[in-house]
C-alpha cells in the first residue's frame, strides 16, 4: 500500500474514532433542545440507513415515527425497536402516492399536532456495481425527488414552531453535486442556472428533470451530457440538492420562531441492500450525519450539503 493509501486509511480510522467518541458523549443540558415530546418523522425507516436513523433519534429520547411503504415490514421494524426500549411509532407512508401522504399528514395532525423533525430518507436505486441502466429512471425520479418534494410541501405546514426551530434533513448524495470533478452535468450553462440561488425556481428544477426523462424516453440521454455514473440516481439527487437550497432560502425568510432549517447530506457508500451490500460504510456511520444535523442546537446551519459532519460544495 502506497503513501497516499496509508494516509487515507489513517484519516478514515481517525474519523471513525471521532464518531465513535462523539456517540458516547451525551449532549449537555444547554445543547439538548429536545425531549420526549419532540416528534421526528423518518421516511423509508424499515431498513438500512432509515432504520438506523430511527434507532439513533429514539435513543436520544425523541418520539420517532417510523414510516415505510410496506406496512407489514414497517410494523415489524418498529416492533423490534420498541422491544429494545425505544419510543418508536409506526405509520404507513408511500411518498410517491399523494393519497398516502394526505392520510399520513392527517393522522400526524390529529395525533401529534405536527412534527419537529423530518428526515426524508426514502429512496431507490436500481443499479448495482458498474451497471448504469436508466430503465427505471421514472421510478427513481418519482421516489427520490418528487417523493421528497411532495412530502416536504405537505409537512411544512405541520412543522411545529419553537425557539429551537424545526428541522428538515434530506438524505442525498455526492453523486448529485453540480460541480464535482467527476459525474457532473456537462452543460455549463445548466450547471450555472441550477447553482444560482438568486434565480433558481422549483419550476426550473422540474424542467431539468423533465428534459432528462424526455431524453430517456427518446433514447438520447447518453449523449445529453448527464452524469455518467448511476445516471438516473445522480440526476434525482441533483434535483434534491437544488430543492434543498431553494426551500432553505424560502424558510429563512420566516419570522423568528417559525423558521425551518433545511439541509441535506451524503451518507456515503453504505453497506445496505441498495448498494447490494457492497458499500464500505456501516449503517451507523451512514446515519450519523443525518442525526447530527437533526439535533444541532440553534439554526445557524441552513441550506447546506454535508458528508461526515463536514460541509461540502454543491
List active site positions. 233
Neighbours of 118 (CB within 10 A): 27
Distance (Å, rounded) from C-alpha 176 to C-alpha 187?
Answer: 14
Q: Is 176 helix (H, G, I), strand (E, B) or coil?
A: helix
Contacts 24+ apart (CB under 8 A), 15-21: 15/308, 16/285, 19/285, 19/288, 19/308, 19/309
Residue 172 phi, psi (nearest 5):
-130, -145
Report yes or no: 290 and 119 within 8 Å, Cβ to Cβ.
yes
What does the DSSP 8-state code read for residue 145? I
Instruction: Give 179's contacts (C-beta < 8 A, 6+ positions apart).
Output: 191, 195, 313, 314
What does the DSSP 8-state code read for residue 65? E
Distance (Å, rounded) from C-alpha 232 to C-alpha 106?
Answer: 32
Neighbours of 197 (CB within 10 A): 13
Beta strand 305-307 with 63-68 is unpaired
Whole-angstrom CA distances from 60 to 124, 147, 226 are 28, 27, 41
Amino acid at each position: 500500500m502506497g503513501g497516499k493509501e496509508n494516509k487515507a486509511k489513517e484519516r478514515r480510522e481517525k474519523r471513525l474514532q471521532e464518531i465513535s467518541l462523539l456517540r458516547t458523549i451525551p449532549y449537555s443540558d444547554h445543547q439538548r433542545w429536545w425531549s420526549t415530546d419532540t416528534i421526528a418523522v423518518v421516511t423509508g425507516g424499515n431498513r438500512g440507513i432509515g432504520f438506523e436513523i430511527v434507532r439513533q433519534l429514539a435513543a436520544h429520547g425523541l418520539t420517532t415515527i417510523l414510516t415505510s411503504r410496506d406496512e407489514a415490514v414497517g410494523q415489524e421494524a418498529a416492533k423490534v425497536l420498541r422491544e429494545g426500549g425505544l419510543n418508536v411509532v409506526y405509520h404507513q407512508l408511500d411518498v410517491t402516492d399523494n393519497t398516502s401522504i394526505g392520510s399520513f399528514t392527517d393522522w400526524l395532525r390529529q395525533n401529534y399536532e405536527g412534527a419537529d423533525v423530518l428526515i426524508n430518507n426514502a429512496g431507490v436505486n436500481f443499479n448495482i456495481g458498474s451497471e448504469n441502466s436508466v430503465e427505471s429512471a421514472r421510478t427513481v425520479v418519482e421516489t427520490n425527488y418528487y417523493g421528497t418534494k411532495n412530502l416536504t410541501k405537505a409537512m411544512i405546514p405541520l412543522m411545529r414552531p419553537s425557539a429551537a426551530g424545526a428541522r428538515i434533513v434530506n438524505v442525498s448524495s455526492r453523486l448529485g453535486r453540480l460541480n464535482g470533478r467527476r459525474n457532473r452535468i456537462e452543460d455549463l450553462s445548466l450547471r450555472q442556472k441550477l447553482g444560482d440561488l438568486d434565480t433558481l425556481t422549483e419550476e426550473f428544477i422540474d424542467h431539468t428533470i423533465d428534459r432528462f426523462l424526455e431524453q430517456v424516453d427518446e433514447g438520447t440521454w447518453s449523449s445529453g451530457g448527464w452524469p455518467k455514473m448511476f445516471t438516473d440516481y445522480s440526476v434525482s439527487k441533483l434535483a434534491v440538492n437544488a430543492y434543498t437550497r431553494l426551500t432553505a432560502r424560502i424558510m429563512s425568510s420566516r419570522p423568528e420562531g417559525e423558521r425551518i432549517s433545511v439541509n441535506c447530506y451524503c451518507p456515503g457508500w453504505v453497506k445496505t441492500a441498495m448498494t447490494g451490500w457492497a458499500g464500505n460504510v456501516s449503517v451507523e456511520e451512514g446515519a450519523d450525519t443525518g442525526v447530527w444535523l437533526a439535533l444541532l442546537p440553534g439554526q445557524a446551519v441552513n441550506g447546506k450539503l454535508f458528508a461526515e459532519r463536514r460541509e461540502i460544495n454543491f
